């Protein structure tokens, strides 16, 4: 006997019905083909066909909501559970998951949040979500060797200007309107959080070994780090710092201190093999 | 396929994040661990570091949730490449996933959706399993899923379906005994019949887990201890299949590691008396 539906059509119908009945997902506003459901799914005394599909519908949204609460714990705390759930339902309609790993289901949430009504009382929430996402991605980003002081001591003063400087693969600089970094620290510590100050700031996120760190950039770091993320020569990065702060007697000391801080924090990549190449070049 | 291709690993538990510290620091007694493959499909960082250190001390099995072998979408080549790369690095005893579909049309439900038990489904799934096995260079192990719906078009029983696919694809079976119990309740069949009908030479691993009772249906939640009725079903399976690598699954509201250890030891204890003397359960 031929099937009611070929397998491909059956799966597409089940997908549509499950996401529709979940109240989330891209098909949540499409008409429910109830008669079609009864033709394909067996329902009996204890549970109707629709009730059986509702089990999957409930699981769909609850599983994804749990994953996103874990990924965006601080954002959820700021928005409140109910608003966060509404946000996720709308998000799943706009961005149904496509990747095998559930870790990527929420990757577009920060941008989506910025344009969503739940952020109206908390206009900083999108930036907070972006900070959380960046920290998460750094946590599972590529491994690398950080440039360490012992390696730097091998470089003679004459070689310094041309040595390549590169930030580690998980280094990111985020430019924000709101000071959301203290909120994330407070939530991570289980402490109360306060509404953020509205002041332009840049946040550095990086991973050293297995730990992810983040902090606000100090004056003079932004241009230099942006160039280090792309990759540049030491002299070029010094020029970028000097251009940001202006040349003065303190500029050289600042450059020295910033590089020292970046090396101590493990922000820069060990590119000593490239240094050898640069020397030969 | 010979069952001896799959070594008897003993009694293991799922490797879960709340227990990473304890496992790495204390090296507790455990025959083996099963990982959720997708949790380690990352580019670097702590998950892979943890897995590397666990692997140095214990055998592992890679258990995936996204192969979607029953989907009508094409096989995900990028996913298969990642799977193969992870297996080459960490050398699991075997690779397993579920007899189900998880999405269609490029979308992922992140759930293990059952298939209609039809010849069309068998014809769809068997070549896909063979292709995956050819790509990975090894036999894979396919698990029966829990389910809450049955298709009117089904013409085979679930156990006939599973057996036919395993035989035709020449793959192995991970028999989730809790899922058998859950499905027997949800779809009105005798769990014992299921156990008695699976080709024994194909079963290389057993899962044991807990579930929630919602009255009209049982929900496979992996957040409760194994129920006594499931233990008895397990004993029936052991009597029929002989010693089979057994894993305790606990995925939510995860208790202290000692609870899982105790459950693994209970499985070992229940297994021992059922087998002929000289059978390996230690």
Q: Mean pLDDT across the stretch B169-186? A: 97
Task: Provide the pLDDT for residue A1.
Answer: 43
Q: Mean pLDDT across the stretch B8-12? A: 97
Contact call for B111 and A56, based on CB within 8 A:
yes
- Residue B100 in tokens: 């189900």
Are the beta carbons of A77 and A193 closer than 8 angstroms?
yes
- Residues near B158 by beta carbon (within 8 Å), at least 6 away in sequence: B117, B144, B183, B187, B189, B194
Pick from B42, B79, B152: which is nearest to A39 by CB? B152
Contacts of A60 in chain B (CB under 8 A): 109-111
Contacts of B49 in chain A (CB under 8 A): 210
- Convert B77-101 to b/e letters by CB count within 10 Å (16 or more is b): eebeebbbebbeebebbbbbbbbbb
In angstroms, the CA A166 to CA A269 distance is 6
Task: Provide the pLDDT for residue A46.
Answer: 84
Q: Taking the alpha carbons of B3, B8, B10, B16 in that order, is the dihedral positive or negative?
A: negative
Task: Provide the pLDDT for residue A88.
Answer: 96
More confident residue, A74 or B275: A74
B205 touching A (Cβ < 8 Å): no
Element holding B142 (H helix, E strand): strand B140-143
Contact call for A10 and B44, based on CB within 8 A:
no
Task: Provide the pLDDT for residue A27.
Answer: 64
In angstroms, the CA A56 to CA B212 distance is 15
Least confident of A227-231, B104-108, B274-278: B274-278
Provide the shortest C-alpha distance from residue B148 to chain A (in Å). Answer: 6
State what percent of residues in chain B have pLDDT above 90: 93
Pick from A12, A53, A210: which is nearest to B105 by CB? A12
- Residues near A129 by beta carbon (within 8 Å), at least 6 away in sequence: A72, A75, A109, A110, A113
Contact call for A7 and B43, based on CB within 8 A:
no
Mutate which of B36, B37, B104, B147 to test chain A, going by most A C-beta atoms within 10 A? B104
Q: Mean pLDDT across the stretch B51-77? A: 98
Provide the shortest C-alpha distance from residue B269 to chain A (in Å). Answer: 35
Contact call for A49 and B46, based on CB within 8 A:
no
Question: How many CA atoms, within 13 angstroms, populate the side-chain half-sphere of residue B32?
Answer: 22
Q: What is the DSSP letter of B104?
A: E
The domain made up of B3-274 has a fold known as TIM Barrel (3.20.20)
The ranges assigned to domains in chain B are 3-274
Contacts of B20 in chain A (CB under 8 A): none
Contacts of A42 in chain B (CB under 8 A): 149-152
Q: Which residue has the tokens 């990086």?
A: A206
Closest CA to A2 of B100, B157, B155: B155
Note down pLDDT in tens along chain A; length 281 residues: 456 789 999 999 899 889 987 776 666 665 556 677 888 898 876 898 889 999 999 999 999 999 999 999 999 999 999 999 999 999 999 999 999 999 999 999 999 999 999 999 999 999 999 999 999 999 999 999 999 888 888 888 888 888 899 999 999 999 999 999 999 999 999 999 999 999 999 999 999 999 999 999 999 999 999 999 999 999 999 999 999 998 888 899 999 999 999 999 999 999 866 555 555 55
All structural domains of chain A, each given as residue ranges with its CATH number in brackets, are 1-122 (no CATH), 142-281 (3.90.930.50)
Are the beta carbons of A241 and A164 closer than 8 angstroms?
no
Q: What is the 3-state secondary structure (H, E, C) of chain A?
A: CCCCCCHHHHHHHHHHHHHHHHCCCCCCCCCCCHHHHHHHEECECCECHHHHHHHHHHHHHHHHHHHHHHHCHHHHHHHCHHHHHHHHHHHHHHCCCCCCCHHHCCCCHHHHHHCCHHHCCCCCHHHHHHHHHHHHHHHCCCCCCECCHHHHCCCCCCCHHHCEECECCCCEEEEEEECCHHHHHHHHCCCCCCCCCEEEEEEEEEEECCEEEEEECCCCHHHHHHHHHHCEEHHHHHHHHHHHHCCCCCHHHHHHHHHHHHHHHCCEECCHHHHHHHHHC
| Cβ neighbours, 10 Å, residue B262 | 14
Contact call for B66 and A96, based on CB within 8 A:
no
Task: Provide the pLDDT for residue B72.
Answer: 97
Mutate which of A14, A49, A100, A140 to test chain B, going by most B C-beta atoms within 10 A? A100
Length of chain A in terms of residues written: 281
In angstroms, the CA B206 to CA A80 distance is 42
Task: Tell me the pLDDT of chain B averaged across its residues.
Answer: 95
């Amino acid at each position: 006997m031929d099937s009611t539906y070929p397998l491909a059509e059956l799966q597409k119908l089940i997908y549509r019905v499950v996401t529709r009945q979940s109240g989330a997902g891209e098909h949540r506003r499409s008409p429910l083909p109830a008669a079609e459901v009864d033709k394909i799914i067996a329902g009996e005394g204890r549970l109707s066909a629709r009730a059986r599909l509702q089990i999957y519908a409930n699981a769909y949204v609850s599983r994804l909501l749990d994953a996103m609460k874990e990924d965006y714990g601080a954002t959820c705390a700021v928005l409140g559970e109910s608003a966060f759930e509404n946000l996720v339902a709308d998000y799943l309609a706009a961005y149904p998951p496509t990747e095998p790993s559930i870790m990527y289901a929420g990757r577009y949430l920060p941008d989506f949040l910025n344009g969503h009504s739940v952020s109206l009382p908390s206009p900083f929430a999108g930036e907070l979500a972006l900070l959380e996402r960046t920290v998460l991605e750094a946590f599972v980003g590529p491994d690398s060797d950080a440039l360490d002081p012992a390696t730097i001591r091998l470089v003679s003063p004459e070689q310094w200007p041309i040595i390549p400087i590169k930030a580690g693969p998980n280094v990111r600089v985020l430019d924000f309107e709101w000071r959301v970094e203290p909120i994330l620290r407070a939530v991570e510590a289980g402490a109360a959080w306060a509404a953020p100050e509205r002041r332009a700031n840049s946040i550095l996120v990086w991973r050293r070994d297995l730990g992810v760190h983040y902090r606000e950039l100090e004056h003079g770091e932004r241009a230099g780090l942006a160039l280090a993320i792309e990759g540049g020569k030491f002299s070029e990065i010094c020029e970028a710092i000097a251009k940001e702060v202006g040349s003065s007697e303190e500029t050289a000391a600042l450059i020295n201190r910033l590089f020292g801080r970046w090396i101590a924090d493990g922000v820069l990549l060990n590119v000593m093999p490239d240094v050898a190449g640069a020397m030969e070049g | 396929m010979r069952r001896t291709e799959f070594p008897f690993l003993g009694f293991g538990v799922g490797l879960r994040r709340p227990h990473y510290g304890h496992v790495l620091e204390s090296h507790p007694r455990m025959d083996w661990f099963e990982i959720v493959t997708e949790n380690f499909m990352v580019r670097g960082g702590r998950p892979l570091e943890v897995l590397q250190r666990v692997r140095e001390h214990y055998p592992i099995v890679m258990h995936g949730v996204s192969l979607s072998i029953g989907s009508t979408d094409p096989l995900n080549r990028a996913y298969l490449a990642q799977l193969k790369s992870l297996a080459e690095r960490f050398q699991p005893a075997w690779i397993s996933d579920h007899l189900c579909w998880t999405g269609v049309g490029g979308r992922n439900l992140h759930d293990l959706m059952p298939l209609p038990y039809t010849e069309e489904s068998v014809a769809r799934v068997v070549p896909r399993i063979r292709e995956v096995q050819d790509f990975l260079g090894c036999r894979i192990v396919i698990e029966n899923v829990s389910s809450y719906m049955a298709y009117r078009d089904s013409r085979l029983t679930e156990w006939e379906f599973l057996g036919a696919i395993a035989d035709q694809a020449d793959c192995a079976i991970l028999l989730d005994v809790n899922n058998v119990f859950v499905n027997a309740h949800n779809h009105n069949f005798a769990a014992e019949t299921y156990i008695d009908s699976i080709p024994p030479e194909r079963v290389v691993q057993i899962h044991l887990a807990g579930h929630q009772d919602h009255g009209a249906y049982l929900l496979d939640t992996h957040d409760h201890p194994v129920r006594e009725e499931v233990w008895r079903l397990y004993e029936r399976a052991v009597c029929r299949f002989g010693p089979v690598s057994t894993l305790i699954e606990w995925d939510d509201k995860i208790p202290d590691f000692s609870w899982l250890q105790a459950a693994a030891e209970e499985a070992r204890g229940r297994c021992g008396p059922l087998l002929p003397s000289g059978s390996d359960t230690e």
